[in-house]
């Protein structure tokens, strides 16, 4: 039983096939267990099903791609500057790659040996005899999909390989490799967060699976010594979108390309497929490379997913109770599926108020949980890839849409808002640069605060899209594919396609209301600190590890550029520290290191000694600085002709409980 046979076989010949041969075919291609030879023969005999349906059931752009015969690689050599060429080997070099021919094809020749060749595909191959024979040098710690190779011109066997998993280095011509796993160059398609007290970050990466880990992880190579990397892999393949059931922060829905999604138990590692399937006799569903998935905020047993249709499950993806009509303009032949859903969002304010967008320019609205849809595309630039649709958390009738035209060489920033469920659209972000937009997010706290991720970075609007500005000039100029706000922590997570994930606290950004923005100077509240007798001492047993040095952030908004004077005073008015600097207009987080300037040490010592408390002695720490003692203080900030005072406290450390006296 083969696909070729089933494309041409007559009904009578099909009915004469052995049941075990048909069932073997069904098993081989992973048909659902509900299908079997006897039932299929009955339907074919009645004319309700054709034998070719067993082929069409399996057809999709991805499977078609890998079912296409591939001619193996060939290497040719010229010794006369390209006038004539000779093939270096007898047969084709098979098993080198079986798809995406344009994606590979790199060849390298050693500068030290003309007969030493390297070709880059899914494995990495080496020839020591001018291409007559080949050896695979893809080590156990080397990712597949090779795209770049440097061959040393001075040290034989020294190679640097660039692949979909990063960088590998060899000094023995590929027999063994070092993995350079310290480069923060992850290509994230998506990023999400759970609601654990110490929340976790999740992300799907290009060809490197889906990972999760603690939000407060700081880059360190210590894990290479301990063997415990804080981030853990959930699934392999090309990691795609991730949604988390926040009732337990343990049930995760995620997967890899073309809609192959699973319900994953983080604790046990168990995973169950949740991909919707078409019925035998129906045309196969078309799933985008990054198929959209969405978990209802109102009932997290309800899961939504998109192919070329909208799918809804009421039982965590175990069964699918509804599938819409095709919401696209129909499929288009190519090496990946086209005519697919790209984005799904449900209103945080109303269960069943759902928006979907497609790669061929359609936006649809459902007000009944996906039972019926109406198109709301009129007023948008037509035929553009809908990169994101975002339902407002502040107004039920408000919705945002981002379009992306780079596939048509159209790099305009196309962002829209509707205040009436998509009946009318207004273009916003007209001052955004010409950069393809991948995502738009609305701040959950401040209705006027919007975030946009483009192919060059992140932009923020404080007036609901009237004007945008670059969020932070320290963020690399890199494609931003996803944004998410962790509401409790007030953190913005930025998923980049090339420079991994960034985390930014947006507490003060959320407070930039019209009232604050109208002031020449505004200073936000300051955090209290707990005193530590080790301030200024060595971090470890030796001076080489640096000193333990505290820091107080002073968040300041300046309407225009100005000199900023900061003075730190005791509650009795004694100035302990001052600093003046130039600052541009905008939001700044200035810092104070909790030290006392030299000329204030003596008068401050007298104040401290008057209190006659334990640890009242004021002395230099090992780093040569004098630090504040417990007490109440005020920061006085002067800029733009205004002076603002904010209080803060250095609290005493908690006392240790007394040891028991024994019996």
- Residue 655: pLDDT band (50, 70, 90) is confident
Concatenating the DSSP letter of every residue in 573-624 gives --EEEEEEEEE-SEEEEEEE-SB--GGGHHHHHHHHHHH--TT------TTS
Give the chain's largest Cα–Cα span.
107
157, 180, 203: which is the final residue of a domain?
Answer: 180
pLDDT (mean) for 285-298: 96
- Strand order through the sheet with 529-530: 529-530, 642-651, 631-639, 562-570, 575-583
Query: What whole-number distance in Å separates Cα of residue 445 and Cα of residue 449?
Result: 8
CB-CB neighbours of 291 under 10 Å: 27
Concatenating the DSSP letter of every residue in 202-231 gives EEEETTTEEEEEETT----STHHHHS--SS
Query: What whole-number distance in Å separates Cα of residue 106 and Cα of residue 114?
Result: 16
195 and 160 in one domain? no
252 and 158 in one domain? no
| Contact (CB, 8 A) for 275 and 258 | no
Quick check: 470 pLDDT over 60?
yes
pLDDT of amino acid 61: 67
pLDDT (mean) for 170-196: 95
pLDDT (mean) for 471-499: 95
242 and 341 in one domain? yes
Give the tens place of pLDDT for each residue, 127-146: 999 999 999 999 999 998 99
Helices (H), 355-434: none
- On the CB side of 548, CA atoms within 13 Å amount to 13
pLDDT (mean) for 599-619: 82
> Which residues share a beta bridge with 586?
558
- Strand order through the sheet with 135-136: 106-110, 113-120, 124-127, 135-136
| Contact (CB, 8 A) for 151 and 137 | no
pLDDT (mean) for 513-541: 94
List of E strands, 249-308 = 251-256, 260-265, 271-273, 293-295, 303-306
Quick check: 484 pLDDT over 80?
yes
Query: What whole-number distance in Å separates Cα of residue 262 and Cα of residue 316?
Result: 10
Burial class (CB in 10 A: 0-12, 13-18, 19+), 533: exposed
Q: Which helix (H) or strand (E) holds 43?
A: helix 37-45
231 and 122 in one domain? no
Interior CA angle at 288 toward 285 and 294, to 5°? 90
412 and 334 in one domain? yes
416 and 304 in one domain? yes
Give the tens place of pLDDT for each residue, 99-121: 766 778 899 999 999 999 999 99
Quick check: 71 pLDDT over 90?
no
370 and 227 in one domain? yes
Poorest-confidence range of 299-308, 344-353, 396-405, 535-544? 535-544
pLDDT (mean) for 479-483: 98
Which residues form the domain of 202?
189-431
Q: Which helix (H) or strand (E) holds 554?
A: strand 552-558
pLDDT of amino acid 654: 85
CATH code (residue 554):
2.60.40.2550
660 domain-assigned: no
Count of domains for the chain = 4
Q: Which helix (H) or strand (E) holds 444?
A: none
Top-confidence residue, 606 or 343 = 343
| Contact (CB, 8 A) for 330 and 358 | no
Give the tens place of pLDDT for each residue, 2-36: 999 999 999 999 999 999 999 999 999 999 999 99
pTM value is 0.92
Quick check: 663 pLDDT over 70?
no
656 domain-assigned: no
93 and 203 in one domain? no
200 and 232 in one domain? yes
pLDDT of amino acid 519: 96
180, 212, 245: which is the final residue of a domain?
Answer: 180
Residue 475 makes CB contacts below 8 A (sequence gap 6+) with 457, 458, 494, 502
288 domain-assigned: yes
Top-confidence residue, 182 or 150 = 150
pLDDT of amino acid 613: 61
pLDDT of amino acid 661: 62
346 and 395 in one domain? yes
Cα separation of the two ends of the chain = 84
Percent of the chain with pLDDT over 70: 97
174 and 46 in one domain? no
465 domain-assigned: no
545 domain-assigned: yes
Quick check: 178 pLDDT over 90?
yes
The tokens 């991909």 sit on which residue?
275
- Residue 171: pLDDT band (50, 70, 90) is very high
pLDDT of amino acid 70: 79
Which letter does DSSP use for residue 137 in this model? -
Closest alpha carbon to 524 in 504, 508, 505, 506: 508
Quick check: 235 pLDDT over 90?
yes
Which letter does DSSP use for residue 44 in this model? H
- Residue 625: pLDDT band (50, 70, 90) is very high
Quick check: 296 pLDDT over 90?
yes
Task: Report the SS3 class of residue 459.
Answer: strand
Query: What whole-number distance in Å separates Cα of residue 579 and Cα of residue 600?
Result: 14
Which letter does DSSP use for residue 116 in this model? E
499 domain-assigned: no
64 domain-assigned: no
550 and 420 in one domain? no
Distances (CA, A) of 656 to 528, 533, 659, 661: 20, 14, 9, 15
pLDDT (mean) for 620-630: 95
**511 is written with which tokens?**
């407070």
Which letter does DSSP use for residue 29 in this model? T
Quick check: 431 pLDDT over 90?
yes
431, 461, 478: which is the final residue of a domain?
Answer: 431
Poorest-confidence range of 22-36, 217-231, 430-444? 217-231
pLDDT of amino acid 336: 83
Quick check: 617 pLDDT over 90?
no
210 domain-assigned: yes
Percent of the chain with pLDDT over 90: 86
Query: What whole-number distance in Å separates Cα of residue 659 and Cα of residue 651?
Result: 24
Quick check: 492 pLDDT over 80?
yes
Whole-number average pLDDT of the chain: 94
pLDDT of amino acid 660: 64
Query: What whole-number distance in Å separates Cα of residue 119 and Cα of residue 104?
Result: 9
**312 is written with which tokens?**
């809804």
- Residue 182: pLDDT band (50, 70, 90) is confident
pLDDT of amino acid 254: 98
Helices 37-45 and 19-28, axial angle in degrees (round to 10) = 110
CATH code (residue 374):
2.130.10.10
pLDDT of amino acid 609: 85
| Contact (CB, 8 A) for 352 and 368 | yes
pLDDT of amino acid 615: 57
Poorest-confidence range of 62-66, 208-212, 463-467, 519-523? 62-66
pLDDT of amino acid 565: 98
């Amino acid at each position: 039983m083969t696909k070729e046979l089933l494309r041409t076989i007559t009904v009578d010949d099909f009915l004469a096939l052995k049941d075990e041969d048909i069932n073997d075919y069904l098993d081989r291609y992973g048909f659902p267990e509900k299908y079997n030879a006897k039932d299929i023969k009955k339907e074919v005999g009645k004319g309700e099903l054709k034998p070719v349906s067993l082929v069409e059931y399996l057809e999709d752009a991805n499977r078609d791609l890998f079912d296409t015969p591939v001619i193996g690689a060939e290497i040719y050599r010229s010794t006369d500057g390209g006038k004539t060429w000779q093939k270096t080997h007898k047969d084709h070099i098979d098993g080198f790659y079986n798809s995406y021919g344009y994606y590979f094809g790199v060849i390298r020749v050693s500068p030290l040996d003309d007969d030493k060749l390297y070709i880059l595909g899914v494995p990495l191959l080496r020839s020591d005899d001018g291409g007559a024979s080949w050896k695979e040098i893809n080590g156990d710690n080397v990712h597949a999909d090779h795209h770049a190779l440097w061959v040393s011109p001075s040290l034989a066997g020294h190679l640097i390989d660039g692949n979909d998993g990063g960088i590998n280095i060899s000094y023995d011509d590929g027999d063994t490799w070092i993995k350079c796993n310290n480069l923060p160059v992850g290509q994230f398609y998506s990023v999400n967060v759970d609601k654990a007290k110490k929340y976790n970050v999740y992300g799907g990466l290009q060809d490197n699976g889906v990972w999760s880990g603690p939000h407060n992880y700081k880059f360190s190579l210590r894990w290479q010594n301990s063997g415990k990397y804080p981030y853990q892999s959930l699934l392999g393949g090309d990691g795609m979108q991730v949604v988390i059931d926040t009732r337990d922060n343990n049930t995760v829905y995620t997967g890899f390309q073309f809609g192959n999604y699973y319900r994953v138990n983080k604790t046990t590692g168990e995973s169950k497929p949740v991909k919707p399937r078409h019925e035998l006799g129906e045309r196969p569903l078309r799933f985008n490379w990054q198929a959209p998935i969405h978990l209802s905020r109102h009932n997290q047993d309800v899961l939504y997913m998109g192919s070329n249709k909208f799918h809804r499950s009421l039982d965590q993806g175990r069964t699918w109770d509804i599938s819409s009509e095709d919401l696209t303009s129909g499929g288009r032949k190519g090496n990946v599926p086209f005519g697919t859903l790209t984005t799904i969002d449900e209103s945080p304010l109303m269960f069943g108020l759902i928006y979907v967008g497609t790669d061929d320019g359609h936006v649809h609205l459902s007000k009944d949980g996906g039972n019926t849809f109406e198109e709301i595309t009129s007023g948008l630039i037509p035929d553009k890839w809908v990169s994101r649709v975002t339902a407002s958390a502040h107004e039920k009738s408000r919705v945002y849409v981002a379009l992306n035209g780079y596939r048509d060489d159209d790099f305009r920033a196309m962002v829209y808002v509707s205040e009436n469920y998509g009946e009318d659209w207004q273009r916003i972000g007209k001052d955004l640069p010409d950069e393809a937009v991948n995502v738009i997010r609305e701040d959950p706290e401040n209705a006027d605060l919007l975030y946009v991720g483009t192919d060059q970075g992140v932009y923020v609007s404080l007036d609901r899209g009237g004007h945008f500005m670059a969020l932070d000039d320290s963020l690399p100029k890199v494609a931003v594919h996803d944004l998410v706000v962790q509401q409790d922590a007030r953190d913005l997570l930025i998923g980049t396609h090339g420079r991994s994930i960034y985390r930014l606290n947006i507490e003060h950004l959320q407070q930039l209301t019209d009232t604050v923005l109208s002031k020449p100077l505004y200073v936000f509240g300051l955090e209290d600190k707990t005193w530590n007798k080790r301030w200024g001492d060595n971090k470890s047993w030796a001076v080489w590890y640096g000193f333990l040095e505290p820091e107080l952030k002073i968040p300041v908004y300046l309407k225009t550029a100005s000199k900023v004077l900061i003075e730190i005073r005791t509650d009795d008015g004694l100035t302990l520290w001052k600093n003046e600097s130039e600052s541009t207009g905008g939001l700044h987080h200035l810092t104070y290191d909790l030290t006392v300037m030299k000329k204030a040490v003596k008068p401050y010592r007298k104040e401290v000694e008057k209190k006659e408390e334990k640890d009242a002695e004021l002395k230099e720490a090992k780093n040569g600085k004098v630090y504040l003692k417990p007490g109440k203080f005020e920061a006085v900030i002067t800029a733009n002709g205004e002076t603002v005072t904010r209080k803060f406290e250095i609290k005493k450390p908690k006392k240790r409980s007394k040891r028991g006296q024994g019996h």
